[in-house]
Amino acid sequence: MSTYIGAPLVNTAALSLCWCLCLSVTAVAQPPPPPAPVEALPSPEVHPDGRVTFRLHAPRASEVTVAGEWTRPQPNTPQKMTRDEQGTWSITVGPLEPNIYIYVFNLDGLTLPDPVNPIIKLRARGSASMVEVPGGRPWELRDVPHGALQIRTHASRVLGGAMRQVFIYTPPGYDKSSSARYPVLYLLHGTNDLAAGWTMAGRANLIFDNLISEKKAVPMIVVMPWGHALPFGARPAAGQPSNADVFERYLIEDVMPLVAGTLRVAPGRRQRAIVGLSMGGAQALQIALAHRDLFGSLGIFGSGMTRADFDARYKDLRATPALDMLLVGVGKDDGARGRARELVEALRAHGFAPAHLEIEGGHTYPSWRTLLVETAPRLFHKP
């Protein structure tokens, strides 16, 4: 059939066939859609069932792994990731227990944080990333009254005028009263960490917000100084003060006067506690036993001391004056578990009555957050 449209006759069936062929050729020749931009690749991606997918776009890498606090029994065991055709490496782990986990990538021997995850864990040296698997835990952000977190910068007399920062938490309602005074907890971090460690990774401020709102802990001021009084990694010569020795002086002579002079603190040793994790646990033990006139409570997480070392150092130690609260806590997968048990035995042999907690977990912040939740309600309840 033909149709007259002017001068020539046009075969409409042929035109239709040509049009269909053109469409088919165009469809076949059309290039595939471009891959999603690197910044659009979600990492980490937390799934509803607690599994987590990590991704890293590294098309020239030959091997990529991820290492995080979730692996058991050894935390931070590298896990190999798989490469796709676009050069994106990925792995899905879990399901993981609700918690916050620190992790890093390793790209052909180079350790680095997740480049598309803004939640960073800074350290004295190096950095990492964090992923949160929600599940109603005491360190999650809730709609409750919140305290204030401030940073006090000061020149340390003990450290020759060096500038230092101290992170300080004041409880909800602190600014609404001009007369109320509060007990003080000195909360110490571990090696290669910062003064911000207990809030950045430990979420200590949120833990206290939530426990105080539930009336499980009394309102208190929490002071978090930087524990590296000597440069990180420094090895003093024989006979020279150790980092723990210098930090002890720094806390007693610089930090405590700063706190007493600028905050409304309750007087007396029974209104002061000192708690630390790992290196900070060893520092807390040394300071509290040497200054029981200043501290009434002591907590040690992920740290300990052999019975022989304790007896040699504290040969004449007696449990007078008594501590209102003494707790030694450690994860069951923590390499310090044996030393923590020996420390408990040594303390008991010298007349102390420490609580001894062994929880699931390793030498990681998931354990230390849990131990802080267990410890905070035990503080400052005696008159």
Confidence class of residue 25 from pLDDT cuts 50, 70 and 90? very low
Percent of residues, the chain, with pLDDT higher than 90: 83
Strand bridging mode 88-93 / 82-83: antiparallel
Which pLDDT score is estimated for 243? 95
Give me the pLDDT at residue 234, please. Answer: 84
d(CA 75, CA 366): 11
CA nearest neighbour of 108 among 56, 52, 35, 38: 56
d(CA 38, CA 90): 13
| Strands lying side by side in the sheet with 88-93 | 45-46, 52-57, 88-93, 82-83
CA distance 348 to 346: 5
pLDDT band at 237 (very low <50, low <70, confident <90, very high): confident
Q: What is the DSSP letter of 38?
A: G
In this prediction the pTM is: 0.88
Domain boundaries, the chain: 38-133, 148-378
**Average of per-residue pLDDT across 127-137:** 97
Q: Which amino acid is at 309?
A: D
pLDDT at 2: 40
Q: In Å, what is the CA distance from 240 to each residue of 234, 253, 373?
A: 12, 19, 37
For residue 26, the model assigns a pLDDT of 43
pLDDT at 177 over 50: yes
Look at 19-23, 87-91, 192-196 and tell me which has the smallest mean pLDDT.
19-23
What's the pLDDT score for residue 40?
65
Class of domain 148-378 (CATH, top level): alpha beta
**38 pLDDT band (50/70/90 cuts)?**
low
Residue 351 has pLDDT above 90, yes or no: yes
- pLDDT over threshold 70, residue 4: no
- Asked if pLDDT for residue 208 goes beyond 70, the answer is yes
CATH T-level assignment (fold) for domain 38-133: Immunoglobulin-like (2.60.40)
**What's the average model confidence in pLDDT over 66-82?**
97
Across 264-280, b (16+ Cβ under 10 Å) vs e yields: ebeeebbbbbbbbbbbb
Q: How far apart are CA 347 and CA 318, in angstroms?
A: 9
- Here the tokens at position 339 are 């030393």
H or E element in which residue 165 lies: strand 162-170
User: Which H helix or E strand runs over 186?
Assistant: strand 184-188
Question: What average pLDDT does the segment 234-258 reach?
Answer: 94
Q: At which residue do the structure tokens 């890293």 appear?
A: 56
pLDDT > 60? residue 204: yes
DSSP designation for 177 = -
Q: What is the mean pLDDT of the chain?
A: 91
Phi, psi at 180, each rounded to 5°: -65, 140
Torsion angles phi and psi, residue 21, rounded to 5: -65, -40
Q: Are 225 and 189 in contact (CB under 8 A)?
A: no
Q: Averaged over 338-355, what is the pLDDT?
A: 96
Q: What percent of the chain has pLDDT over 70?
A: 89
Residue (of 182, 155, 366) closest to 272 by Cα position: 182
Residue 21: CB atoms within 10 Å:
10
Residues 6+ apart with CB under 8 A from 380: 183, 218, 220, 270, 271, 273, 297, 324
